[in-house]
């Protein structure tokens, strides 16, 4: 009998919170505040608040689903259990694609931030970033606990510079700077459109709380730990994002930094000479933390799908000693590196990553209502209003993303459908062969039963015949005895 290797529950509440915060707070906060301000001016602060509310609403849906299904795979597992194989595959495949593309995107972002310290050509910086990706792949290959501890360090490291910026920026805050108008021509012509775009930019930076639900089989007391971690991570990210946006717009004349490639670092440098290097270092740490987190999570998605026979079995393999999905980690690294050099566009990769992460968001918010009806239990969400609002927001974001780029997503989804139908066809063929084999076994069993019945009848007849033969023999013996007695009597009479 083959012994199945299982995940080990080694992650606590702090690890889970750090995993979520580490993934949410990535490169976006170092770029998006001034981009959103260009679209909506001081109103962009409300875009960050709305983005935080969206993150909390979806996070509550994730937490509710996690209470129903504390299993590895996160958003994929929720959708699969709620809606079955096809929708489960679409959600899981999109989830997986989004994370693989995110790995490639973070490699690009790492090479960009590296330029602040290492003025190498882009190719060399990409190769160095690829080495970091390989290093984190190896760390997560060695064990989930080691990978989580590394992520904890990176998360704390990325939060410190942002908190310092908040504390310093408050002392330099000037309402006149904060109230400076938007600068984008389109936003000035149509303020509502500019505000909507600012919301979308903020929402892009908020994606990531779902990562906590992915390695649930490796989290201690997952049914209670995961919901707490999701909510705490979303609230923490919201607090930091709103405050960073607030001080970055109010501490300086942000119009002077709107064309900067490292706006927070340049703003910090204008406040204190040398402070910019700390923020730039924070940006590097932020990207490294997000890269490590997504490497850890991506392999758990493919593992869960392979466990449900919806992905190739190679992704299901666990290392005997480390209990990690080793083959999936290696394959993901290869695919991500190939994407980096094939696409060669940070913007294109980031847009695709957002879209393919929003698709499982939509399915999971819908799964919340389905799982509540299915199990007849409402753990956290007592009303359908929150999931419905989250569903509408996801639909709007997906529609906007598809409006920006339709062809590439359709091609990727089509490739996924080919994989799905190939796998299901193989499973159907195997099930048909199994049915035939079972039918043959049934016929053999029935024939054996019939033969056994005939054999039993024959044995019964033979036994009865033997009994009858014994009875006949006994009767014949008695007759011979009577004949002998009569002959003896007759002889005695004759002699007299």
Per-residue pLDDT tens over the stretch 101-153: 988 888 888 887 787 777 788 888 888 888 998 988 888 777 655 555 565 67
pLDDT in tens, 204-255: 788 777 666 655 455 666 667 777 787 888 888 889 999 999 998 988 888 8
Domain boundary pick from 355, 387, 405: 405
Q: Is residue 4 part of a domain?
A: no
Residues 469 and 364 placed together within one structural domain of the fold: no
Contact 205, 28 (CB under 8 A): yes
In a shared domain, residues 474 and 400: no
Q: Is residue 5 part of a domain?
A: no
Residue 110 sits in the same domain as residue 252: yes
- For residue 7, being part of any structural domain is answered with no
Q: Hey, CA dihedral for 428, 430, 431, 432, is it positive or negative?
A: positive
Residues 96, 303, 23, 200, Cα dihedral to 10°: 20
Residue 1 maps to a domain:
no
Could you read off the pLDDT of 16-52 as tens digits, one per residue? 777 777 768 877 788 788 888 888 888 889 999 988 8
Tell me, yes or no, whether 343 lies in a domain: yes
- Residue 475 is part of which domain span? 408-496
Domain identity same for 387 and 432: no
Shared-domain flag, residues 423 and 321: no
Between 12 and 144, whose confidence is greater?
Answer: 12
Does one domain contain both 175 and 123? yes
Give me the CATH number covering residue 347.
1.20.1740.10
pTM of this prediction? Answer: 0.73
Same domain for 291 and 397? yes
pLDDT at 4: 37
**What confidence tier does 256 reach under pLDDT thresholds 50, 70, 90?**
confident
Secondary structure percentages of the chain, helix, strand, coil, to 5? 80, 0, 15
Task: Tell me the three-class secondary structure of 273-308, residue by residue.
Answer: CCHHHHHHHHHHHHHHHHHHHHHHHHHHHHHHHHHC
Q: Which of 377, 405, 433 is the endpoint of a domain?
A: 405
Does residue 6 lie in a domain region?
no
- Read off the pLDDT of residues 360-371 as tens digits, 9 standing for 90 and up: 999 999 999 988
Q: What average pLDDT does the structure give for the chain?
A: 78
pLDDT at residue 7 is higher than 50: no
In a domain, residue 298? The reply is yes
**Among 365, 354, 360, which Cα is nearest to 214's?**
360
pLDDT in tens, 144-168: 555 555 656 767 777 888 888 899 8
187 and 283 part of one domain: yes
Please write the tens of the pLDDT for every residue from 296-306.
777 778 887 88
2 found inside a domain:
no
pLDDT digits (tens, 9 = 90+) for 375-398: 777 767 778 888 999 999 899 888
Q: Answer yes or no: do 223 and 257 share one domain.
A: yes
Kindly tell me if the per-residue pLDDT of 311 is higher than 90: no
* pLDDT beyond 50 at 2: no
Q: Domain boundary residue among 379, 405, 431?
A: 405
Do residues 294 and 256 share a domain?
yes
Residues 271 and 208 in one domain: yes
The total number of structural domains that make up the chain: 2
Do 417 and 355 lie in one domain? The reply is no
């Amino acid at each position: 009998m083959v012994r199945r290797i299982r995940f080990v529950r080694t992650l606590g509440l702090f690890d889970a919170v750090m995993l979520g915060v580490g993934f949410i707070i990535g490169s976006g906060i170092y770029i998006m505040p001034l981009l959103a301000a260009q679209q909506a001016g001081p109103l962009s602060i409300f875009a960050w608040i709305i983005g935080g509310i969206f993150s909390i609403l979806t996070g509550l849906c994730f937490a509710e689903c996690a209470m129903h299904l504390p299993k590895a795979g996160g958003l994929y597992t929720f959708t699969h259990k709620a809606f079955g194989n096809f929708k489960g595959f679409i959600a899981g495949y999109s989830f997986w694609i989004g994370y693989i593309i995110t790995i490639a995107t973070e490699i690009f972002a790492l090479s960009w931030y590296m330029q602040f310290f290492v003025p190498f050509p882009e190719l060399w910086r990409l190769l160095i970033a690829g080495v970091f990706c390989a290093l984190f792949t190896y760390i997560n290959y060695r064990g989930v606990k080691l990978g989580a501890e590394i992520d904890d360090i990176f998360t704390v490291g990325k939060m410190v510079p942002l908190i310092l910026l908040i504390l310093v920026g408050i002392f330099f805050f000037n309402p006149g700077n904060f109230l400076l108008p938007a600068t984008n021509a389109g936003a000035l012509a149509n303020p509502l459109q500019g505000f909507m775009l600012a919301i979308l930019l903020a929402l892009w930076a908020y994606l990531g709380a779902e990562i906590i639900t992915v390695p649930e089989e490796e989290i201690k007391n997952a049914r209670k730990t995961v919901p707490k971690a999701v909510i705490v991570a979303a609230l923490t990210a919201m607090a930091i994002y709103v405050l960073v946006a607030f001080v970055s717009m109010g501490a300086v004349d942000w119009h002077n930094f709107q064309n900067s490639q490292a706006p927070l670092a340049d703003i910090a440098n204008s406040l204190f000479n040398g402070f910019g290097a700390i923020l730039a270092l924070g940006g590097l740490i932020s990207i490294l933390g997000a890269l490590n987190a997504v490497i850890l999570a991506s392999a758990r998605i493919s593992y869960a799908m392979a466990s449900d026979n919806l992905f190739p079995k190679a992704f299901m393999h666990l290392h005997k000693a480390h209990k990690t999905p080793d083959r999936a980690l290696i394959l993901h690294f290869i695919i991500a590196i190939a994407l980096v050099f094939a696409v060669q566009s940070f913007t294109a990769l980031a847009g695709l990553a957002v879209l393919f992460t929003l698709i499982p968001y939509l399915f999971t918010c819908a799964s919340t209502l389905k799982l509540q009806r299915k199990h007849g239990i409402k753990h956290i969400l007592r009303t359908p209003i929150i999931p419905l609002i989250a569903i509408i927001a996801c639909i709007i974001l997906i529609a906007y993303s598809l409006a920006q780029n339709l062809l590439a997503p359709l091609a990727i989804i089509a490739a996924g459908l080919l994989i799905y139908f190939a796998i299901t066809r193989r499973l159907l063929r195997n099930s048909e062969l199994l049915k035939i084999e079972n039918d043959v076994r049934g016929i053999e069993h029935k024939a054996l039963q019939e033969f056994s019945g005939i054999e039993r009848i024959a044995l019964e007849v033979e036994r009865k015949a033997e009994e009858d033969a014994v009875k006949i023999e006994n009767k014949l013996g008695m007759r011979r005895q009577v004949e002998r007695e009569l002959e003896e009597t007759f002889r005695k009479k004759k002699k007299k």
